[in-house]
């Protein structure tokens, strides 16, 4: 006869191993009725479930490109080298463009202005004024982690479609008022204000 002595730690470890083995074995087994039911169920006909309708309440890529082209033409006519960003209602970039020779930071500045505009649903000039009146509020809001830089500076306008904020367009590279004027020209190119 062989006698094996185990201490409390070994017994606890042996119990854990046994529990894992039993749990794995039982967890991998499926009751026979579930397997049979899964085999009987057929996928529904595709003509029974209609395809979801595309939502057209946002800014399309084609619209964004036309807005950027018109804004670039406005800036070029005034000899400014600028960057433009169009965001959707969630603050994601739909399209962007940086004119040849525009400074590197202009893209991120345009994006930050547009993000502040889409985040608040107001022109970035109004956000700039709010920031000047309460910098602590916007300083904290900018770090909330919503996925975009929030720059409270003039140069972006919200894009309103059917009374809802569908996105925003921002510009950077010219004086702030000229950035906003270029954005306004871009929105007008697709019939928006």
Among 31-35, 52-56, 170-174, 183-187, the least confident range: 52-56
Assess whether pLDDT exceeds 60 at residue 38.
Answer: no
Confidence of residue 52 (pLDDT cuts 50, 70, 90): very low
Task: Show me where the domains of the chain are located.
Answer: 8-36, 61-188
- What pLDDT sits at residue 163? 87
Q: What CATH homologous superfamily does 61-188 map to?
A: Haem-degrading domain (3.30.450.150)
CA torsion, ordered 73, 74, 76, 78, to nearest 10 deg: 160
Contact 67, 166 (CB under 8 A): no
- What pLDDT sits at residue 3? 64
- Strand pairing category for 156-161 and 93-98: unpaired
Supply the mean pLDDT for the chain: 81
- What pLDDT sits at residue 25? 56
pLDDT tens profile 95-114: 999 999 999 999 999 999 99
Phi first, then psi: what are they for 170, rounded to 5°?
Answer: -125, 155
Confidence of residue 8 (pLDDT cuts 50, 70, 90): confident
Among 46-50, 81-85, 145-149, the least confident range: 46-50
Assess whether pLDDT exceeds 50 at residue 49.
Answer: no
């Amino acid at each position: 006869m062989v006698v094996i002595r185990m201490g409390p730690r070994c017994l606890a470890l042996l119990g854990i191993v046994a529990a894992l083995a039993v749990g794995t074995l039982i967890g991998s087994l499926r009751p026979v009725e579930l397997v049979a039911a899964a085999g009987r169920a057929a996928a529904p006909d595709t003509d029974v479930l209609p395809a979801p309708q595309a939502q057209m309440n946002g800014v399309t890529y084609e619209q964004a490109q036309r807005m950027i082209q018109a804004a670039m033409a406005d800036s070029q006519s005034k000899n400014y080298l600028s960057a433009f960003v169009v965001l959707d209602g969630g603050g994601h970039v739909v399209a962007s463009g940086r004119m040849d020779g525009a400074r590197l930071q202009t893209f991120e500045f345009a994006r930050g202005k547009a993000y502040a505009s889409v985040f608040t649903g107001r022109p970035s000039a109004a956000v700039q004024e709010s920031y000047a009146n309460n910098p602590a509020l916007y300083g904290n809001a900018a770090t909330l982690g919503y996925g975009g830089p929030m720059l409270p500076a003039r140069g972006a306008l919200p894009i309103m479609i059917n009374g809802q904020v569908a996105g925003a367009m921002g510009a950077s590279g010219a004086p702030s008022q000229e950035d906003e004027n270029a954005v306004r020209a871009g929105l007008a190119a697709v019939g928006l204000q």
